[in-house]
Homo-oligomer: A and B are copies of this chain.
Amino acid sequence: MVRSAVASSQARDRLLDAAVEHALEQGIVDLSLREIAATIGTSHRMLIYHFGSREGLLVAVVREVERRERERLGAAPVSVADARRRWDRLADPSLRAQERLFFEIYAHALLGRPGTEGFLDEAVDGWISPVRALLIDAGIDEEDAEGLARLGLAVTRGLLLDLLATGDTAGTTRAFDLFTELFDQPSAHDIRHE
């Protein structure tokens, strides 16, 4: 069997893990094959061998980060309490590096850089769609459902940006709680069930 240069293998998985680890700490945009290889303990030749090219490695890293992002967040929140639990998970310091990398790739993708095709669609619509569907199932007007899904995503991402910059877990969590209170108050009823 003729293996393509980008087929999977145990060695490739090991290298990919190490490359993602490196990206979590050092970022991804100025990723250099030689530098990664040196910190991993192999030669840049091996990275090209397993991933085809620098861009191939970049694509693999981006996909892996996407995969971890989905895995980390699990199902869409079905209630305000759910959303709050999810925020607590997101605000955990152990995830900072991953979120930082996520935003770096996001900015990267906004500039249309190669290797990020499809990332933005997945990053936005991949979240809005399931939440919107859940809200519609719960009897909320379609347009409001879309808006609320968008708003929830925006609050989460916006507060994460704040958290990454300031490290102020308590402050950002208070802001998130304020949002859930606004949403939960009785007279928001006409939006939730009009």
Contacts and interface: CB of A to CB of B under 8 A. Distances in A.
Interface string A175-194: 11111011101111001000
A30 interface: yes
A164 to B, nearest CB: 5
A182 B174 CA distance: 17
Which residue, of A29, A124, A154, has the highest number of chain B Cβ atoms within 10 A? Answer: A154
Contacts of A29: 29-30
Nearest to A176: B151
Interface of A: 26-27, 29-30, 100, 103-104, 106-111, 113, 120-121, 123-125, 143-144, 146-148, 150-151, 153-159, 161-162, 164-166, 171-172, 174-179, 181-183, 185-188, 191
